[in-house]
Amino acid sequence: MEQLALKEKRYNKIITIVSVVIPVVVAVLFGVRIPNVEPLSFLPPIYATINGCTALLLLVAVWAIKNGKVKLHQNLMTFNIVLSLLFLVMYIAYHMTSDSTAYGGEGAVRYVYYVILISHIILSIALIPLVLRTYAKAHIKDFEGHRAMAKYTFPIWFYVAVTGVVVYLMIAPYYAH
Hey, what domains does the chain have and what are their CATH numbers? 2-174 (1.20.120)
CA distance 70 to 46: 29
Please choose, from the candidates 69, 153, 57, the residue with its C-alpha nearest in 3D space to the C-alpha of residue 145. 153
Does 6 have pLDDT greater than 90? no
Per-residue pLDDT tens over the stretch 40-71 = 999 999 999 999 999 999 999 999 999 999 99
Report pLDDT for 35: 85
Per-residue pLDDT tens over the stretch 141-172 = 999 999 999 999 999 999 999 999 999 999 99
CA distance 113 to 69: 38
pTM of the predicted protein model: 0.93
Please choose, from the candidates 94, 84, 88, 91, the residue with its C-alpha nearest in 3D space to the C-alpha of residue 158. 84
Residue 6 φ/ψ region, left for φ over 0, alpha for ψ in the -120 to 50 degree band, beta for the rest: alpha
Number of alpha helices (DSSP H) and beta strands (DSSP E) in the chain: 5, 0
CA distance 156 to 169: 20
